[in-house]
Amino acid sequence: MSDSKQMPMQTPQDLFVHELSDIHNAEQIIIQMLEEAQGLVQNPQLKEGLRMHADQSRQQAERIQQVFQQMGVQPHPIECHAAQGLYEELQEAQQAQPSPQVLEGLVVGGACKTEHYEIAAYTGLVEKARAMGRTEAAQLLEKNLQEEQQMLQRVEQISQQLTQQMASMDGAQPGQQASSSAM
């Protein structure tokens, strides 16, 4: 349970503001997670992808703030438990002292999970904004959604490359199951 004050949700707008506040907090957590992850990886392509995603997340948080301003409301003080859970997953994985290659696999896997979460959140917000007739809000959130979809494609490409590299380190051929250690 969060320490934050529970806000009443009686109307579709209340739900929209709640979910918008949740993704706003998620973006803040994700920025922190991405900045930390950049220092954990050696792969230049992955490092650059994490940097780009952090920059993009800052822009997305600004767009979310614009939606709040358009509506004349402030974000609710809530914690995004999904994003916080993904961040904690990364922190716990580090405690296992993985090899650099495994750590990169963990980071890129976490980035994929994060993208999927963000895509789901923005899809719902765009739908709600449109249903409420908030065209400008829908356009801003649609931009965030499109960026997340594009970032997911980049992350998945990096993930495939890293997975193939890791499999070759294990002696597996593409399409074959590696030895007993699986990613």
Query: Is 180 within the bounds of a domain?
Result: no
Q: Is the residue at 177 inside a domain?
A: no
183 residues of the chain, pLDDT tens digit each: 344 456 778 999 999 999 999 999 999 999 999 999 999 999 888 899 899 999 999 999 999 999 999 999 999 999 999 999 999 999 999 899 998 888 999 999 999 999 999 999 999 999 999 999 999 999 999 999 999 999 999 999 988 888 888 777 765 545 544 433 333
Query: Does residue 98 belong to any structural domain of this protein?
Result: yes
What's the number of domains the chain is made of?
1
Range of the domain at 18: 12-169
Q: How far apart are CA 155 and CA 109, in angstroms?
A: 9
138 Cα distance to chain centroid: 19
Q: Which letter, b or e, does each residue of 100-122 get, where b requires 16 or more Cβ atoms within 10 Å of its Cβ?
A: ebbbbbbbbbbbbbbbebbbebb
pLDDT digits (tens, 9 = 90+) for 15-41: 999 999 999 999 999 999 999 999 999
1 belongs to a structural domain: no
pLDDT at 170: 64
Flag whether 183 is in a domain. no
In a domain, 96, yes or no: yes
pLDDT value at residue 162: 85
